[in-house]
Amino acid sequence: MYIAQVIVFIIGACIGSFLNVCIYRLPLGQSVVYNPSHCPGCGRRLGVLDLIPLLSYVLLKGRCRYCGEKISARYPLVELVTALLFVAAYQYWGWQWQTVSMWVFFAVLITASVIDYQHKIIPDEIIIVGCVLGIPLVFLFGKLIDGLISFLVAGLFFLFIAVGSKGGMGGGDIKLSALMGLFLGSPGIFVALFSSFLFGGLSGIILMALRRKGMKDALPFGPFMAIGGVMAAFYTDPIIKWYINISGL
Ligand SMILES: [Zn+2]
């Protein structure tokens, strides 16, 4: 019972742990492959027992074993979200190339959105790795032409918005939007972008109403694109039906 789900959950948590390394190191320009992990507080090299996804955080009660410095809740959160999305994709598509493709897609979205939220940039490395892994995977489940057309359409669409919004959207948003087109194809990419504008717009209005942000403070858009991308991966058909219903088409 559920052995496959447990295995997928563990794989997801381990990948999430690697994404944490990427999230911490990519904006600093550090290698994500070569250096062993250190505590950001005391600099002590971390052992195997400090690096078990999810479990170490719980066992250490959220603090460094050596210096007692608080470990950010972001670490277990990224591991948990990655693991849950991996299981959800497995439940939805089973053992297919599309499942692997969506695992890569979700890993890219999580990494890009957390970095964008913290630093307001989306490093090119994420986009490049996404393309290098995404193109063969999308080809393997027979949607490469659709994916490449959606890549171009979504990228150009965002380019126009970026030019029109005079800096409200950045180059990172354009590249991430194109990459989402590759993984989602059509009509998924339209649902993803529609949803991300809806959530981004609503959050902007709420923050402005609470006077937390002025018109000038740009919200990082990456997290909203990630939410839209995940929604489109699972719910493209119901969302299109819902939209046709309320718009009376
Ligand atoms: Zn420490």
pLDDT tens digits for range 205-231: 888 888 766 655 667 899 999 999 999
User: Domain end: 76, 95, 114, which one?
Assistant: 95
- Tell me the percentage of the chain whose pLDDT exceeds 90: 79
Q: Show Cβ contacts of residue 145 under 8 Å, excluding neighbours closer than 6 positions.
A: none
One domain for residues 85 and 120: no
One domain for residues 101 and 60: no
Q: How far is the CA of 50 from the centre of ligand 1 (A)?
A: 11
Q: Which residue has the higher pLDDT, 222 or 162?
A: 222
One domain for residues 120 and 42: no
Q: Which residue has the higher pLDDT, 78 or 163?
A: 78
One domain for residues 238 and 126: yes
Total residues found in the chain within this entry: 249
Q: How far is the CA of 68 from the centre of ligand 1 (A)?
A: 6
One domain for residues 222 and 131: yes
Q: How far is the CA of 66 from the centre of ligand 1 (A)?
A: 5
User: Domain end: 62, 95, 128, which one?
Assistant: 95
One domain for residues 62 and 19: yes
Q: Show Cβ contacts of residue 233 under 8 Å, excluding neighbours closer than 6 positions.
A: 89, 102, 105, 106, 183, 184, 188
pTM, 2 dp: 0.93
User: Domain end: 60, 95, 130, which one?
Assistant: 95
Q: How far is the CA of 23 from the centre of ligand 1 (A)?
A: 19
- Range of the structural domain that residue 242 is part of: 96-249
Q: How far is the CA of 39 from the centre of ligand 1 (A)?
A: 5
Task: Evaluate if residue 143 carries a pLDDT over 70.
Answer: yes
| Number of domains forming the structure of the chain | 2
Q: How far is the CA of 114 from the centre of ligand 1 (A)?
A: 23
